[in-house]
A = this chain, B = another copy of it.
Amino acid sequence: MSSVIPVLEVFGPTIQGEGAVIGQKTMFVRTGGCDYRCSWCDSAFTWDGTGKSEALTAEEIIERLDTLAPASYGHVTISGGNPLLHKGIGQLVNLLQARGIQTAVETQGTFWQDWLKQIDAVTISPKPPSSGMKTNWETLNKCLTQLDTRQVSLKVVVFNKTDYRFAKEVHHRFPAYEFYLQVGNEDPTTADQQKLMQDLLQQYEQLIDWTMNDKEMNRVRVLPQLHTLLWGNKRGV
């Protein structure tokens, strides 16, 4: 009998829009609850009470995935909220791996769970100053050093020059890890998709420009959020 996991949404198949496995065909399991309160959180419904989570066992989550995409997925992304709040995800990961399904997790790295070691692609994304959150370097370090460098990447979302400087600090503190810069979505609620797309491309170009002209940022990757370019702020795609 597994312990339950608070689940906000299960959807897919769709593409992973960001980070190290960008473009990957994947299913999403979004868990509820977060220890952070980022000012620009695009998943605030996972923790601000506007979204209702269901308490599901690992077996029930697998059932949902199988119903959505019968025999049609080979990759599952667990995101949040902060999935590291939930010990019960370990059982989900075991079941997926027993079926040969690859896994990815996205978290800010503020907690540790042993199941993280089993994940194929872990994205740790410390939050920059514009989020209003403060990174505990020691906790982050503890999380990172328990993982294999080939399994984990660091990602920082950048909204402005101060965030960019923070991103540099993260990269220089942990140079052994693959590093991703990502354009922030300034307007996670607008329905004007055309304008959002153009703004995002413009900010992406700006971020590229900063990085290309920075001799201290050579071994990095700069990416947009593909799902936002394609579908704007729509949820569940």
CB-CB under 8 A for A72 and B218, given A15-B208, A180-B23, A230-B204 = yes
Size category of the binding interface on chain A: 35 or more
Q: How many chain copies?
A: 2
Chain B contacts for A219, CB-based, 8 A: 25, 74-75, 102
CB-CB under 8 A for A73 and B25, given A14-B212, A204-B230, A212-B13 = no
- Dominant secondary structure at the A interface: mixed
Chain B contacts for A214, CB-based, 8 A: 72
Candidates B23, B215, B221; contact of A21 at CB < 8 Å: B221
A96: Cβ under 8 A from any B Cβ: no
Determine if B229 and A201 form an interchain contact, defined as CB atoms under 8 angstroms apart.
Answer: yes
**In the complex, which of the residues A14, A205, A226 has the most CB atoms of chain B within 10 Å of its own CB atom?**
A226
Contact with B along A197-219 (1 / 0, CB 8 A): 10001001100100110110111
Determine if A223 and B14 form an interchain contact, defined as CB atoms under 8 angstroms apart.
Answer: no
A22: Cβ under 8 A from any B Cβ: yes
Give min CB distance, A157 to chain B, whole Å: 14
Which residues from 220 to 234 on chain A have a C-beta closer than 8 Å to any C-beta of chain B?
220-224, 226, 229-230
